[in-house]
Every structure is written in C-alpha cells, then in structure tokens.
Amino acid sequence: MKKEVSPQKKRVVYLLCGIIIAITVFICAVVLVSALMNPSPSESEPQTTEETSEVGTATFDEIYYAYKENELVADDLYQYNRYRVTAKINGMTNDGLFNMTGGAMLTMETKVDNTIVFFYAEFEKEQEENLKSVKVGDTITFEGKCLDAGNWKECELIME
C-alpha cells in the first residue's frame, strides 16, 4: 500500500529544492565573476620568463584615445603593461561582493581635453597603509597594470 504525501509537504520539498538550486547558481556566478575580474596569469597574460616591472612612457590620454579608437589595437599596445597615472580620487571602497582578497578599489577621474573620464584603479592589500594617507578629492599618482583605459590593477601609490 502506497502512502500519500500531503500537498503541504510537497511544497516544502519544492521550496527547499528551489533554494538549493538558487544558492548553487549564486555561488557559481560569484566564482565566475571573480575569475573574470582576477584572471590567473597563465590564462590571460602573456608569458614571460621574468616579471617586468618596467613602467611605460605612454600617458593616460594616449591610452584613452587608443582604446576609444580601436580596442583590439590598444590591447596589443597597452594591455598588461605598467604605466604611471595622475588623477583625482572620486571614490574609495574596500568592501563589496568581489573584494575577497582585501585592498581597495578607487574610482578615479581625470580630464582628457574637455571630457571628464572616470576609471577604476585596484590597489592590493599591501597598499592599504599608503592609501590611509589620501582621501576623496586628492590628486594622486600611481603605477598600475593597464587592463584597458577604464580598469587598472596591481596599482601602487607613488608617494612624492
């Protein structure tokens, strides 16, 4: 003889299954976005025998115009290379969903001709003490790795 399950118990089981599926999808999305935001060097950056920390001579304006003109060409010229940039801090945060390794994300602004350009500069956890000496509204100089004109990573504050 087969025992019947009440409709209320069925709803609870369906609800629990739905919650488990939603949590699984959320975790997968977080892992995927985290991987896209912080790709491993072996997957995305050119392989070199030694890490180069040489700073390029291009200005932010040159990089900005190159990306505006043709992103593919600009990637070949500037992506994953380090440059020195001077800009004003528009915002600063060390929290958020994807800040799992610490550090801070600064929203920067600079003027290119008559256009105000906003971009992001990601500073590693080791830079937190240096960043405590600056505030929103300050103009700073940093060295960072260009991902594109709007995104910079592995930034280091230049103390002058």
Helices 60-69 and 71-78: crossing angle in degrees, nearest 10, is: 140
Model confidence at 42, pLDDT cuts 50, 70, 90, reads very low
Model confidence at 52: pLDDT above 70: no
- How far from each other are the two terminal CA atoms of the chain, in whole angstroms? 84
Model confidence at 122: pLDDT above 70: yes
d(CA 144, CA 63): 13
Give residue limits of the domains in the chain.
Answer: 1-41, 55-157
Bridge partners of 92, per DSSP, are 106
Of 46, 81, 39, 47, the closest CA to residue 62 belongs to: 81
Q: Residue written as tokens 């003889």?
A: 1
Q: Kindly report which listed range (6-10, 30-34, 58-62) carries the lowest average pLDDT score.
A: 30-34
pTM above 0.75, yes or no: no
Mean of pLDDT values over 117-134: 92
CATH topology of domain 55-157: OB fold (Dihydrolipoamide Acetyltransferase, E2P) (2.40.50)
